[in-house]
Amino acid sequence: MKNFLIALAIFILASCSDPRAKDKEMLLALELQYGDISKFEAECFINIWSDAIDDDDVWDWLVAESTQPSLDTSMSAKPTKYEIEVGIVVAASLPQIRDECGFDFEEVYYSRY
């Protein structure tokens, strides 16, 4: 019985872990390299985006685009499904980021480029 309870506890803890944790840490490290927002602010908006993006393919696309070296941050002439979905999430999350994270994401974004 004791072994069963230990196995059950391990299963519950393992299933409750965040499958996007590694991606979030990678995005956090990239954001902190800019030096213009705090760790709390970066974690806050990354978590907001992660919560808002239900589709794992869209999340994977966002992480891939964010981690590849590129100076071009504009959308393509004919935006892809992923660009559109991420754009909607970013635009819709701006008030939430301002209220919960304590900074204006647009202001920070545009100050970088």
Quick one: tokens of 10? 């391990």
Measure the CA–CA gap between 94 and 70, rounded to whole angstroms: 24
Digit-coded pLDDT (tens) for 36-56: 999 999 999 999 999 999 999
* Closest to 65 (Cα-Cα) out of 82, 48, 89: 82
- pLDDT of 55-113, one tens digit each? 999 999 999 999 888 656 565 688 999 999 999 999 999 999 999 999 999 999 999 88
What average pLDDT does this structure show over 19-37? 94
Q: What is the pLDDT of residue 30?
A: 94
pLDDT higher for 6 or 85? 85
- Residue 15 — pLDDT band, cuts 50, 70, 90? low
What are the start-end ranges of the E strands in the chain?
none
Predicted TM-score (pTM) of the model is 0.79
Distance from C-alpha of 36 to C-alpha of 29, rounded to nearest angstrom: 13
